[in-house]
Amino acid sequence: MSAVISARGLSKRYGAQAAVDNISFDIPAGRIVGLIGPNGSGKTTTLKAALGLIPFDGQLSVLGMDPRTQRDALMQEVCFIADVAILPRWLRVGDAIDFVAGVHPKFDRAKAQRYIAHTKLTEKMKVKQMSKGMIVQLHLALVMAIDAKLLVLDEPTLGLDILYRKQFYQNLLEDYFDENKTIVVTTHQVEEIEHILTDLMFIREGKLVLSATMDEVSERFTEVMVNADKVEAAKALKPIDERQVFGKSILVFDGVPRSQLAQLGETRNVGIADLFVATMKGTYA
């Protein structure tokens, strides 16, 4: 099957500033992809281009369609969630269901109502009466009732407490995702989505600095708690990051065989958050 999203030389400039700078990538079907980067790195611009919300340069195909010229058809196969705080406070649950049923041909009203029946939401309840967690439940009910091939999530759990953030992603896995659907998610809470991702993309200053499957990441990057007498030998192998934890030297390596690193100390897989920090060194200077 062709890629769900395929980009070649994708670029977007605002005056002299390149928000996205000549990036290329492919996202196959049935994947959960984390698009991770600092503020202003080009994450949201990339998603907006894929959704046909902004003009861009280069080639971009989403579900075999050009977002610039086939956006109406594309939106029948795509669902998008940004910050949950965007719902108007006067909106009732029933109104939200009616609205989505009227604009999305693949919305299943009965499925949304079944999900809501297992929450404290009622169809007459207004958004202004809901906690943030309840708003998340309303979002989920609307999203999971749409049989969309591509789900795009841009900081979907911003401002929520950890319980509701975990519930959000768990429900996505249990009630929405399958091998025929694809999810692309951006978030700053990378530790919380690490266990669900199949692929990882790091973007920095408009350029992709990493694009790999999680299996490839595990094979390529290794973290070592280096024995005190092996620190200089470890540094000679040119780690991409070094930090001290309780007096112990923790070094991160890219592409060095794990069998070789095992001679220097305890080896383990690198967490996404630590890999992100190692990769983005200097970005926040």
Whole-number pLDDT of residue 174: 83
For residue 282, name the pLDDT band (cuts at 50, 70, 90): low
Q: Please return the burial class of 90, using the count of CB atoms within 10 Å of its CB with bins 0-12, 13-18 and 19+.
A: exposed
Whole-number pLDDT of residue 285: 40
Tokens of 63: 């579900």
The listed range with the strongest mean pLDDT (83-87, 243-247, 260-264) is 260-264
CA distance 226 to 241: 13
CA distance 285 to 103: 45
Say whether pTM exceeds 0.85.
Answer: yes
Whole-number pLDDT of residue 163: 81
Architecture of domain 5-205: 3-Layer(aba) Sandwich (3.40)
- In what order do the strands lie in the sheet containing 241-245? 241-245, 248-254, 221-226, 265-268
Whole-number pLDDT of residue 284: 46
Long-range contacts of 204-207, Cβ-Cβ distance < 8 Å, separation of 24 or more: 204/37, 204/38, 204/41, 204/279, 204/280, 204/283, 205/21, 205/41, 205/42, 205/283, 206/18, 206/19, 206/20, 206/21, 206/23, 206/41, 206/42, 206/45, 207/21, 207/22, 207/23, 207/42
Q: Does position 283 have pLDDT exceeding 80, yes or no?
A: no
Whole-number pLDDT of residue 189: 82
Give pLDDT tens digits for 240-257. Answer: 999 998 888 999 999 999
In this prediction, residues 26-38 reach a mean pLDDT of 94
Residue-range domain boundaries for the chain: 5-205, 217-279
CA distance 164 to 262: 39
In this prediction, residues 214-226 reach a mean pLDDT of 95
- pLDDT > 70 fraction of the chain, expressed in percent and rounded: 97
Among the listed residues 21, 28, 19, the one whose alpha carbon sits nearest the alpha carbon of residue 179? 28
CA distance 52 to 71: 6
Q: Cβ distance 60 to 71 under 8 Å?
A: no
Whole-number pLDDT of residue 85: 57
Whole-number pLDDT of residue 155: 84
Whole-number pLDDT of residue 74: 93
Give pLDDT tens digits for 139-169. Answer: 888 888 988 999 998 887 777 778 878 888 8
| H/E stretch holding 75 | none
Whole-number pLDDT of residue 9: 97
For residue 84, name the pLDDT band (cuts at 50, 70, 90): low
